[in-house]
Structure 1
Amino acid sequence: MTTTMSTTVTEAREARRGFRPRGMVWLVLRQHRVTAWAALGLLTAFLAALVVLRSEMTDYVRAHDLKDACTLTADCRPSEKTLDFFRANLADPLHYGGIVIEFLPMVVAAFVAGPLIARELESGTYKLAWTQSVSPVRWLAVKLAVPGAAVLAGVSLLAAVYTWTWRRLPAQMAPGQWWFRSYEMIGPVPVAQCLLGVAVGAVAGLLLRRTVAAMGAAALATSLVTGMVLEPLRQKLTGPATELSREMPGLISGADDWIVERGMIGEGGGRIPEPDCGVGVSPEDCVTQHHATGWYLDYHPASHLWPMQWVETGIAVALAALVGALAFRLVRRQCP
């Protein structure tokens, strides 16, 4: 009887132990447990603040009868006092939170490049792991898997809750937070960019092997990739809608349309982008000056947001995979 109970207790302990991280995963978590707990605490506080902010926005919209379809030129225009209070106490804090999300890919890249990889290469502590039957490839795989899993779980939750809160924001109350201005703060794009930051950080750490230098280089490289590669492609991820008019078109279907290009259609059907009409010349006279047939406007309506988001997410994840493959190639060739 005693033997049976002892066996049962031992099996229960082994079962519980099976759910605990072991080996390199345990080592990485233990090395950076302070950072992990701090990040978890900040994430929890951020999520709680977003939930409270959304509740307050909902109550304010209902209390002041602010209809989502209302525009600033309609009869339902709120008073300036109402607008000022909403923007200062609700819209602006949401925007500041979005800026934090926008910079997360650089923060992730800097952490992976410096404290996670370059510090071990700089101090030589990686040699201890490699002498414990851990190959360089496995070492790097765990180093990327731990922050990668954390990013996928944490940033996905953060982006989802932020998007949920942002959707409660009446467009007419915060023009500065129209969908194309909040693009990198909402949806799956921040998650994909953070995964890209993990891969870029790994390459920077392996190449430079100096903590501070790797952190700076990783943050800068991630900023350049997102700003000079992904952002210029954004308006081309899906075909824009086009509006033709004899008069100069403005914002066609709503104030939150993302204008791509405006110009004239020439007599031969060719386009004249952003023609010079001169001061005080009416749109009709400008058409006559350029011997054009009318105006055109290429724009992305709000309905293009999610198709563009998912296409860019796919591109960012593909880039992350390519940069990650480069990191494994480096660790095979350069690490002694």
Structure 2
Amino acid sequence: MSTLTGRRPSGPAPYRPPRPAPYRPSGLTWTVLRLHRTALYVWGAALLTVVAALIWMHAIGPDARAAAGDCAASDFLADCGIIRETAADKIYAYGLALVSTCVTYLMYAVAVWAGAALTGRELESGTARLAWTQSVTPARWLAAKLAVPAVLLTAGTALAVLLGDWTRRAGNGELSGGWFITNVFISSGPVAVAYALAGLALGALAGLVLRRALPAAAAALAAAYVLHEVLDRFRMSLWPAETTTGRAALQFPHGALVLEHGAVTGDGERLSTSMACVGTDSAAALGKCVERSGLTDFWTTYQPESHFWPLQLVESGLLLAVAGLATAAAFALLRRRTA
């Protein structure tokens, strides 16, 4: 009589195909995102906050417009003051100003981060050289370092600009400030994206030059500040202004930025600071003012609101040129150091 021993029959084990490995994102792009995930989370949270705030302000825009209209139509300053204090226009105006400021000065944060973390810290710690020994060329490493944040910055900043314009159209345009104000101008067009990209390139170059995080951050911040202030000072000179004479010089076009206004005396002397007779409503009133003041002519040089887009495009072109030069310098420096 045989007994069961519990042993498995001898022979080869049946073939079992190996389980597929779980998918793990790989590649240089994913490495950049993973390495700088903290900055990615901060950027995403800031963008979501801006988007939510702009959508909410767009919703209260009609109320802000109605409140401003009631205030303008009021015959009593006290009533107007009450409306200003209690209506949605105050929240609307403050909210737009805050968002515009954040978009305008995004360049500084981007430049500091790029100089300190994107290139400076990795060169200081040796992480970059370790990547170069793992079949990643220095040029490819730098290209990924610049391309990934450039795409994210372009998409996010463009979204904020478009939503900002959408929100301004929903409310009272007078509450968002003149188009020529620095914060409004930069946050309302493609120049905001160009500033962010210029800050990225300047920061990356500072990190490659100094190869230390903190000094590179300080240098990038200084370069961004100089670039921002120079363009802010000469912005209205980037496109030819218009000049009018005679009575037209006394009635400034709505929304225009007056650069210079003056008058001509009976002796032919030009007074560039004279505001005499400005705002006269009729030809008779103008004649009396001219006779009383001894003036013979007037002139006004100004930038009309129609020059908004030419100025935007010229400044954007200059900023992109700076970004391109800084990027080219960064690649040339990296190639010389790794040759």
Shift of 1:276: 9.7
- What is the identity percentage for the equivalent residue pairs of Structure 1 and Structure 2? 33
Counterpart of 1:91 in structure 2 is: 93
Q: After TM superposition, list the pairs within 5 Å mapping 1:177-192 onto structure 2.
A: 177-181=177-181, 182-192=184-194
Counterparts in 2 of 1:269 and 1:308: CA distance versus 1, 3 Å: farther
Question: Partner of 1:293: helix, strand, or coil?
Answer: strand
Is 1:244–1:297's contact at 8 Å kept on the other side of the alignment? Answer: yes
Aligned 8 A contact 2:63 2:89 in 1: no
Report the alpha carbon displacement of residue 232 of structure 1 after superposing the two structures with TM. 3.1
- Aligned-pair CA distance for 1:261: 1.3
Q: Are residues 153 and 270 of structure 1, via their aligned partners in 2, closer, same or farther at CA, if it must alter by over 3 Å? A: farther
Instruction: Give runs of aligned pairs for residues 95-134 of structure 1, distance below 5 A.
Output: 95-134=97-136
Name 1:232's counterpart in structure 2. Answer: 233
2:116–2:213 contact (8 Å) kept in structure 1: yes
The alignment status of 1:23 with 2:24, answered yes or no, reads no
Alignment match, 2:4: none
1:17-166 aligned at under 5 Å gives the runs 22-62=26-66, 64=67, 66=69, 79-85=80-86, 86-166=88-168
RMSD (Å) for aligned C-alpha atoms: 3.3
Deviation at 1:284, TM superposition (A): 3.6
1:236 deviates by 2.1
Distance 1:83 1:105, change over 3 A: same
When residues 247 and 103 of structure 1 are mapped into structure 2, their CA distance, relative to the original with a 3 A threshold, is closer
In the TM superposition, residue 162 of structure 1 has moved relative to its aligned partner by 1.5
* Offset of residue 88 of structure 1: 3.2
The 1:257–1:247 alpha-carbon spacing in structure 2 relative to 1, beyond 3 Å, is: closer
TM-score normalised to the size of structure 1? 0.80
Whether the 8 Å contact between 2:263 and 2:297 is mirrored in structure 1 is: yes
* Partner in structure 1 of residue 300 of structure 2: 297
Q: Kindly tell me: are residues 172 and 283 of structure 1, through their superposed partners in 2, closer, same or farther at Cα, counting changes over 3 Å?
A: farther
Give 1:115 shift. Answer: 0.8
Distance 1:44 1:120 in 2: 29
SS, match of residue 189 in structure 2: coil
Partner of 1:306: 309
Structure 1 outlier segments of 4+, above 6 Å? 73-78, 266-270
Q: Shift of the alpha carbon at 1:196?
A: 0.5
Cα distance in structure 2, aligned partners of 1:132 and 1:226:
39
- Mind listing any 5+ residue stretches in structure 1 that lack a counterpart? 1-5
Q: Indicate if the aligned counterparts of 1:66 and 1:76 stay in contact, CA closer than 8 A.
A: no
**Aligned-partner residue type, residue 50 of structure 1:** L
Matched residues in 1 for 2:171 and 2:29: separation?
Answer: 41
Partner of 2:203: 201
Match in the other structure for 1:263: 262
Q: Secondary structure at the match of 1:79?
A: helix
Displacement of 1:135 in angstroms is 1.6
User: Which moved further from structure 2: 211-220 or 86-95?
Assistant: 86-95
Q: Quick one: distance in 2 between partners of 1:46 and 1:276?
A: 42
Q: CA deviation at 1:103?
A: 1.0
Whichever residue aligns with residue 35 of structure 1, its letter is A
Distance 1:268 1:125, change over 3 A: farther
Give the structure with higher Rg (CA). 2
> Does the 8 Å contact 1:203/1:324 carry over to 2?
yes
**Counterpart of 2:6?**
none
Structure 1 residues 329 and 318: alpha-carbon distance in aligned structure 2, compared to 1, 3 A threshold: same
Structure 1 counterpart of 2:273, which letter?
A: E
Task: Write the distance in 1 (CA, Å) between the matches of 2:36 and 2:269.
Answer: 60
Three-state SS of the structure 1 residue aligned to 2:170 is coil
